[in-house]
Amino acid sequence: MAYQVTQNDLSLMRQKEHKVFLKVELLNKNFKVIESLDGEIVSDSFSQNSESIQRRAYNFDIVVLNSTFLIGKDKKIWLDKRIRVYYGLYSIRLKEIVWYKLGIFAYNSLSYQYSLSTRLLSLSCPDLMALYDGTLNGELGGFGSSNSDSAITASGLKIPAGEDIRQSVIATLKDAGITNYIVQDIQKEVPYDLEFNTGVTYADVWAKLRDLYDNWEFFFGIDGTFIWRKIPTCLEDAVILDDSTLQPLIIDEKIEANFSGIYNVTEVWGKVLELDHNDRYVELSTYTDNTYHVSFDDYTSWDDVDHLTQFGIKICSDSLDAPNFSINNYSPIPMYDGDGIPLKSGQLKANTIYVFRYRRIAVNDSGNVCALYLLGQYQCHGLYEETSEKCPYSTTALGYKIIHSVDYDSLSDDAACYNQAEYLTYKSTAMMDTVTLTLPIIPWLEVNTKLSYTTKMFDTTNQYIIKSLTWSTGGTMSLVLYKFLEDFSFVYNRKK
């Protein structure tokens, strides 16, 4: 959950004198405070990056006071120790230190430096994702069905088709010993079997599950909570800072343009569609009363059709809006795209072979509720062009296309490919329109939150989203912002 800014927080920012404090709690692997990491922190650096699964990092140099700062199981520096870091500002009005949590971190690398005048310990501390992405191990021995009777049943690193994605994520979290998590429900299943090689990490499994559909992310939050969610557009988020607060604080503003990596058209190629022995193909179809009819001898009712069965069908006529599908004249079921939206007029073309996936969506008193989902033709494909007039890099503004083609063989329907193309184009246009600000440290700022700011160079006011931030205690903060515009379709099309 985003930090709730109070009037006291804003008052602290406006103080002419900032008296800064740091507090580092030493935690065991269960995040219980065992003592504090006492000592003088000589220098440090803190960063957040919205595009990294290791969302936070904290590095610092601390004066070694005694032998407890050496490496050892009974010392303050060891593999099973964690640190929780706080940044403090003295409030003149409240006459007390106000503490802001920066995150929970693990030790990664360290070095000692001895001289006649001082003894320094330098520590590099990534956030908790390092425990699961291979940085500090994180390999898992097996993964089982989330639908099995036991919580985890090792099955050779295989997640079978039909698993609910949210339950699959939670199953791996439990296997990893992670009990504090927020996992949004994608309301979709694993569309095909997932198998992993020896040495796979938990983060590898999460990334594979994330990439089955478009625009999801996972990371550890500021309090060590594992978060799995849809990538936010910030459309409905409130502006947490505006010009009245920001302008007096700005030390430096930098606007840079780097044309490398800018694309206003993205083409995504997904999974090659193949039928296996459980799937069906038919050359002949008919189209009456807005329903496509096919025949299969081995089915006697819809109950005989297995969940996730794929059908290759040569379509006989162009589709009208919201067509239906029937086998052997059974009760027609709707035909959707990968997002669950009824197919549009002309979306299916005559004399063209398409691959569909049959899904049992729910069960009610009348039996199974089913639908047929369009996957694509021979290979899943999506193409998106950014045409927003307010985007300086759009085809409308530039007058020509800059095309980028990418492979996403994890995506298994046209809709997911299109959505991913839309997001990638957003990243390579909107997120490239950036401003970098230097200002005093605001310790409660988070990436993916919204500001309102008037640039000094162009004297224009826009809303911006924080892309990344860095600072060193006693120094200044650097904020990288990208412009927020509602008329980008990635934002507009995701309105509630």
| Residue 365 pLDDT exceeds 90 | no
Taking residues 387-396, what's their average pLDDT? 90
Structure confidence at residue 485 as a pLDDT band (50, 70, 90): confident
Q: What is the DSSP letter of 137?
A: B
36-50 residue pLDDT tens: 887 788 899 999 999
Put residue 81 in one of left, alpha, beta given phi > 0 → left and psi -120 to 50 → alpha.
Answer: beta
Starting at the edge strand found earlier in the chain, the sheet holding 280-282 runs 280-282, 310-315, 352-364, 367-376, 333-336, 324-327, 291-294, 286-288
| Residue 358 pLDDT exceeds 50 | yes
Structure confidence at residue 143 as a pLDDT band (50, 70, 90): very low
Closest to 36 measured CA to CA, from 73, 72, 71, 85? 85
Structure confidence at residue 141 as a pLDDT band (50, 70, 90): low
Mean of per-residue pLDDT scores for the chain:
90
pLDDT recorded at residue 145 = 47
Which helix (H) or strand (E) element contains residue 87?
Answer: strand 82-91
pLDDT recorded at residue 37 = 83
| Residue 403 pLDDT exceeds 90 | yes
192-216 residue pLDDT tens: 999 888 789 999 999 999 999 988 9
Taking residues 255-277, what's their average pLDDT? 91
Q: CB–CB of 425/386 below 8 Å?
A: yes
Taking residues 400-417, what's their average pLDDT? 95
71-103 residue pLDDT tens: 888 888 888 999 999 999 999 988 999 999 999
pLDDT recorded at residue 375 = 97
| Residue 289 pLDDT exceeds 60 | yes
Least confident range from 11-15, 262-266, 338-342, 369-373: namely 11-15
| Residue 467 pLDDT exceeds 70 | yes
pLDDT recorded at residue 177 = 92
Structure confidence at residue 152 as a pLDDT band (50, 70, 90): very low
Taking residues 399-415, what's their average pLDDT? 95
Structure confidence at residue 151 as a pLDDT band (50, 70, 90): very low
Least confident range from 26-40, 286-300, 348-362: namely 26-40
Taking residues 230-236, what's their average pLDDT? 90
Taking residues 158-187, what's their average pLDDT? 93
Structure confidence at residue 66 as a pLDDT band (50, 70, 90): confident
Half-sphere exposure of 126 (CA within 13 A, CB side): 19
